[in-house]
Amino acid sequence: MSWMIRVVRCRLKGGLELLKHRRRQRAWKQCHWIFLATKRKLHCFLNNCRPIRTIARFLYNGVTNDVPLMLKRWCRVLCIGLMLLIGVQPAVAVEHSFVADAVKKVAPAVVRIDTERTVERQPFDPTLIDPLLRDLLGDQPVGQERERGQGSGVVIDPDGLVLTNAHVVDRVETVSVTLADGDQLDGRVVGTDPVTDLALVRLDTSALPPQAPLGDSEAMQVGDWAIALGTPYGLERTVTLGIVSSLHRNINSLGFSDKRLDLIQTDAAINPGNSGGPLVNGDGEVIGINTLVRSGPGAGLGFAIPINLARRVADQLLQDGEVVHPYIGLQLVGLTARIAREHNRDPNALVQLPERNGALVQSVLPDGPSDKAGLRRGDLVIAVDELPVEDPQALLEVIDAARVGSPLPLKLLRNGREISLSVKPAPLPGLA
């Protein structure tokens, strides 16, 4: 009887072991299905992320063979999950925080500038009043009003020098500067330059704010990040983000074609009140001073003065209180060999142009330096100071760097003959 009991017990035990084994197999299969589903979902991510793909390959190939297969698979899933939690989230956070890091470096040096000046206004426009009524009323007294202005600026010097736009502080009587921490200080205009639209203001205080780090505008490339800071419409500490849309945008200044502003174009929002504020790169360095914004159909076009040019102007304003800009009084257009050939093929062409690159003189300012030197309309400037001239910009760069009154040798073509002349740059008139 006892042997029968032992047989039954053995069979029951065997059946229980078989049942447990089948349950384990079923559980392992379910885990395997979960692993395959997770693997399919992460497959695309692993293929697109090189560091994680490299680690994953190590995990798939580096586990020793004496570890059970399902344990190896679970180790892989666990490690992939840890990589997703540890490796991916910080990468996304860094991508979204570089703007904040750049702003933190510059924002303490960005200031708001409020100005006041007295303007004279007549109560009525004399041209809109009937002559008989004007004779009856006589001359109306001229009234005075206080005009307020507002702009932005950035501290560029440990001595409390603020760089801003000339049109923000030009001909003003009082300047009030609000720092990033809210303190209001009096400012004194050191000098203005209407050609580059730059001005320098000194803070009257001993507790000076931090200065902004200045970058290199020549190192900028189209497509680099551009961050505009300022006080648009009186809204302090405003930050907008864009890119450098273009470099070396030439805009005529004061009507003289040989005086142009070389600007940075950006799509970062620049609104009234941003004038004088800094344009910052992704590293938190000032690369420009905001100055112009295009409204209307061309909305979204903003311009900034390169910081390298602003540095030179600020140094001259600090030293002399003004900036002397040399000019020679020429209106120039670019000429290439292709354009000249197309022009010369025209049977109605009055003159034949030399088929080579250069700066073609379109007009000469009467009594200007070039007029006195003997330059004429139609001359093609091909060299200046022994440097080849391929376009007007090459000539303008040499003129900007020249000294006022120092002879500047020019080589030009006139009626097919090569001529050498010398012109003395004069100070740009009409700035007072």
Residues with catalytic roles: 167, 197, 275
322 secondary structure, DSSP code: S
Residue 411 half-sphere exposure, CB side, CA atoms within 13 Å? 10
Q: Is the dihedral of CA 305, 217, 245, 102 positive or negative?
A: negative
Q: Are 265 and 246 in contact (CB under 8 A)?
A: yes
Return d(Cα 70, Cα 137) in angstroms, integer: 104
Chain centroid, CA 380 distance in Å: 35
Q: What share of residues in the chain are helix, strand, coil (percent, to 5)?
A: 40, 30, 30
What DSSP element (H or E) covers 21?
helix 2-48
Q: Per the structure block, which two tokens stand in for 407? A: 């002879």
Return d(Cα 341, Cα 289) in angstroms, integer: 42
- List the one residue out of 270, 271, 288, 290 whose CA is nearest residue 280: 288
Ramachandran region, residue 177 (left: φ > 0; alpha: ψ -120 to 50; beta: rest): beta
Q: What DSSP letter does each residue of 30-61 carry, written as one string? A: HHHHHHHHHHHHHHHHHHH-HHHHHHHHHHHH
First vs last Cα of the chain: how many Å apart? 128
Q: Are 272 and 290 in contact (CB under 8 A)?
A: no
Return d(Cα 362, Cα 367) in angstroms, integer: 16
Q: Are 236 and 112 in contact (CB under 8 A)?
A: yes
Q: What DSSP letter does each residue of 381-403 carry, written as one string? A: EEEETTEE-SSHHHHHHHHHHSP
Q: How many CB atoms lie within 10 A of CB 153?
A: 32
Return d(Cα 39, Cα 16) in angstroms, integer: 34
The per-residue b/e assignment along 160-195, b for 16 or more CB within 10 angstroms, e otherwise, is bbbbbbbbbbeebeebebbbbeeeebebebbbbbbb
